[in-house]
C-alpha cells in the first residue's frame, strides 16, 4: 500500500506548482501511470482525495491515463507490448529486451477550476 506515499508526493508537487503559478484552486490533476509501477489507481485516488481535504487542493480529482508495458527487442529490434508482463519477443523469441514504456509515474498536467 505505497499509494499513500505516492499520493503524498503528488500533493507536494501540485502544491508547489500552484504556488509557483499563482493558482488558488485546482480541478484536475492529470497523471500517466505505467503498468510496471505497481500503482493501483483506485487506491491512489482514495489516498489523494482523503489527503486533500481542508487543503488548497480540496475538491480536485486525479485523471489517470494507464500505460501498458512496451519493450524493444535487443536482438531483432522489434517493438512489442508485453502482455501479462511476458517479455519474450513475439518476432524472434529472444528474452533480451529493453522497456520503452510502462515505468511512468508522471504528473502530466493540471486543470484549473
The number of angstroms, rounded, from the C-alpha of 23 to the middle of its chain's C-alpha atoms is: 23
Give the one residue of 79, 91, 100, 108 binding other proteins; rule: CB under 8 A: 108
Give the one residue of 21, 58, 79, 81 binding other proteins; rule: CB under 8 A: 21
Q: Quick one: DSSP state of residue 62?
A: E
Can residue 91 be called a binding residue for other proteins (CB under 8 A)?
no
By beta-carbon proximity to other proteins, the closer residue of 81 and 106 is 106
Can residue 5 be called a binding residue for other proteins (CB under 8 A)?
yes
The number of angstroms, rounded, from the C-alpha of 11 to the middle of its chain's C-alpha atoms is: 14
Comparing CA positions, the residue from 104, 2, 8 lying closest to residue 57 is 8
Comparing CA positions, the residue from 65, 48, 45 lying closest to residue 57 is 48
How many residues are there in the chain?
A: 113
Identify residues 48-87 at the interface with other proteins (CB under 8 A): 84-87
Cell 512496451 sits on residue: 70
Q: How far is the CB of 82 from other proteins (least distance, A)?
A: 8
Q: Which residues bind other proteins (CB under 8 A)?
A: 1-2, 5-6, 9-10, 12-13, 17, 21, 27-28, 30-31, 36-39, 84-88, 94-97, 99, 105-113
Amino acid at each position: 500500500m505505497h499509494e499513500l506515499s505516492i499520493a503524498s508526493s503528488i500533493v507536494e508537487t501540485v502544491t508547489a506548482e500552484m504556488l509557483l503559478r499563482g493558482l488558488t484552486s485546482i480541478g484536475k490533476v492529470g497523471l500517466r501511470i505505467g503498468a510496471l509501477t505497481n500503482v493501483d489507481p483506485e487506491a491512489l485516488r482514495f489516498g489523494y482525495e482523503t489527503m486533500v481535504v481542508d487543503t488548497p487542493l480540496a475538491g480536485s480529482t486525479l485523471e489517470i491515463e494507464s500505460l501498458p508495458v512496451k519493450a524493444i527487442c535487443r536482438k531483432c529490434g522489434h517493438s512489442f507490448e508485453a502482455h501479462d508482463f511476458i517479455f519474450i519477443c513475439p518476432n524472434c523469441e529472444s528474452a533480451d529486451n529493453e522497456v520503452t514504456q510502462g515505468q511512468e509515474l508522471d504528473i502530466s498536467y493540471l486543470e484549473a477550476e
